[in-house]
Structure 1
Amino acid sequence: MPRSAASSSVASPASPASSLRVAALPFALPLDGVTDQLAQAARAGIGLAVFPEMSLLGTKRVDRLRRAELETLAEPMDGRSLGIVTDAVEATGVAAGVGLLERGPDGAIYNSYVVCMPGGTKHRHRKVYATENPHLQGGARLDVFDTPWGVTMSILIGADNYLPENARVAALKGATLLVAPHRGYAGGSDVSPQRDWFVRALPTHAGDNGMFAVLSDMHGEPNDRGGSGVALIADPSGAVIATGAGMQDPFATAAIDPELARRSLARQWLSARRPELYSSLIALDARDAAGAQRWMTSPPSREVQARGSVAVSFAVVGRRRVSG
């Protein structure tokens, strides 16, 4: 935790009787220092520390790894890394959201994110759009969960946030806080256009759905050195209420009041929805499902490329009347 976080005016950690204070920390979580990191967060009054997507892997890239290499990095839910995080959460009283490669009971490997709560409870989301590596299995659920602070949370990892309807589903299920871990570096050196778009889009999702949103975005450079990440927190009106300030002060903190979400104008309009107007678009037919599967194996590129050529010919015909 950066030094300035410890100088927060909040003197004690959040409790069930108080509002939840969240910190977005856009860097990897070193396991040998996780207790110290969360202890500093506790002294700053932080109740939930949000680390980025795959934060337990450091800046290691996974896009080019073979299946066997992914298996060496993957851990089950009761593995060593989450055990260390869980122990640190218990010692400090600060909940922590961390990203990892999860090995499922069936041997499948998932890009997962787990919020570890004091008391030992873990809330997991498996990334639905796991496009980083063809050996990763995509998740199949968009869940929400309650917390002792009265905040109902949802987790969307990386590209899960790119489709607005995923955030809408979370809101319709009652989420008042969207945790959005991200990993901006996806295999190319020029990531700024995509990251800038996402930084603008996430507060819009918060405002459209009347909930808080926390972005913790870490990116790695091609030489595996960590770059400055992005941290921001948006309120239920879509206003950005906290941001990081680069390498010197990268984290963002804010208090989360679920009543502001429940009373937001967007949340009121959600109750006025008329699903019958677009119900025909909700169910996927076989062709749509096949298209979705193709997207998962070959996601859209940032560049539009020609897919072939079609020969087109034109003829201009003039008609001139000849008088006799």
Structure 2
Amino acid sequence: LHAFEHPAISSGDSFTVFDTPWGVKVGILICWDNNLVENVRATALLGADILLAPHQTGGTHSRSPHGMKPISVALWEQRESRKEEITAAFRGANGREWLLRWLPARAHDNGLFILFSNGVGADDDEVRTGNAMILDPYGRIIDETCAAADAMVCASLDLSLMAMSTGRRWIHGRRPELYHILTERQGYERDAITARFSEEVPERGDKPGE
């Protein structure tokens, strides 16, 4: 929905939620789409019980002073002899810790399971951190891996957790008539590439001309 990787990649214009043989609905949001909170809420409102969240992230050149920072490619190449160092890096501020700042909130606030997958290893001049994890509707981690290698996590999902989860109950208290601002342009919107990579941050609040 918010493609930024290359000008030749166009953004989608609709959400994907589908039925499964198990009586639950599954939604898909790719990578950065999950970082815009409106996308996860919209997917939940379309009935998703489980969110598939494939990523290619971690150890990236974040422009935020307190965002992710790169992990040394040399460390990845020497991962067999420096296992403690690379595991610490993958679990640290540029990997797992960064994910835990926001990913559990997506599950908790919307009362859905999240299946987070991610690339691992060298990606040009950056190192992706893996950190695959499965979260329940309370934002709790059911299973995860911090391995500096290809790895898979598996879990049985207790679907009975959804009904009384905080996000699923509180979503019924929504007042949509108050949220029109979410669909109004504020004047500082940018295309995904500019929003991701520009060094300039426009001020929020006043619209142009005000």
**TM-score normalised by length of structure 2:** 0.70
Per-residue CA deviations over 1:255-312 (Å, capped at 9, x if unaligned) read 1233322332221111111112222x03324x64xx43x33231234x96689xxxxx
Q: 1:152 aligns with which of 25, 47, 51?
A: 25
Task: Give the conservation status (yes or no) of the 8 Å contact 2:25–2:47.
Answer: yes
Task: Give the conservation status (yes or no) of the 8 Å contact 2:58–2:127.
Answer: no
Paired residue secondary structure (1:153): strand
Aligned pair 1:299/2:179, yes or no? Answer: no
CA distance in 1, matches of 2:173, 2:201: 43
Q: 1:257 aligns with which of 148, 155, 158?
A: 158
In structure 2, the residue matched to 1:235 is 136
Question: 1:186: how far off?
Answer: 8.6
Pairs within 5 Å for 1:103-118:
none
CA distance in 1, matches of 2:6, 2:59: 10
In structure 2, the residue matched to 1:190 is 70
Paired residue secondary structure (2:137): coil
CA distance in 2, matches of 1:155, 1:306: 29
Aligned pair 1:138/2:34, yes or no? Answer: no
Question: Over the residues paired in the alignment, what is the CA RMSD in angstroms?
Answer: 3.0
Question: 1:229: how far off?
Answer: 1.3
Aligned pair 1:282/2:182, yes or no? Answer: yes
CA distance in 2, matches of 1:295, 1:194: 26
Aligned pair 1:175/2:48, yes or no? Answer: yes
Question: 1:228: how far off?
Answer: 5.0
Pairs within 5 Å for 1:1-324:
128-184=1-57, 188=61, 190=70, 195=95, 196-221=97-122, 228-247=129-148, 250-279=151-180, 281-285=181-185, 288=187, 291-292=188-189, 294-301=190-197
Per-residue CA deviations over 1:151-208 (Å, capped at 9, x if unaligned) read 2100000000001111111111111101100001697571675644234311111011
The one-letter code sitting in structure 2 at the alignment partner of 1:268 is R
Paired residue secondary structure (1:137): coil
| Percent identity over paired residues | 36
Question: 1:212: how far off?
Answer: 0.4
Task: Give the conservation status (yes or no) of the 8 Å contact 1:176–1:262.
Answer: no
Structure ID, larger Rg: 1
Runs of 4+ in 1 over 6 A off after TM superposition: none
How many pairs align?
Answer: 174
CA distance in 1, matches of 2:127, 2:70: 15
The one-letter code sitting in structure 2 at the alignment partner of 1:235 is D
Cα–Cα, structure 1 residues 273 and 305, in superposed 2: closer, same or farther, change >3 Å?
closer
**TM-score normalised by length of structure 1:** 0.47
CA distance in 2, matches of 1:306, 1:172: 31
The unaligned stretches of length 5 or more in structure 2 are 62-68, 72-91, 203-210
Question: 1:245: how far off?
Answer: 3.6
Task: Give the conservation status (yes or no) of the 8 Å contact 1:228–1:250.
Answer: no
Cα–Cα, structure 1 residues 222 and 161, in superposed 2: closer, same or farther, change >3 Å?
closer
Task: Give the conservation status (yes or no) of the 8 Å contact 1:185–1:221.
Answer: no
CA distance in 2, matches of 1:271, 1:217: 32
Cα–Cα, structure 1 residues 139 and 243, in superposed 2: closer, same or farther, change >3 Å?
same
CA distance in 2, matches of 1:222, 1:247: 14
Task: Give the conservation status (yes or no) of the 8 Å contact 2:104–2:139.
Answer: yes
CA distance in 2, matches of 1:298, 1:137: 14
Question: 1:211: how far off?
Answer: 0.6
CA distance in 1, matches of 2:122, 2:16: 32
The one-letter code sitting in structure 2 at the alignment partner of 1:179 is L
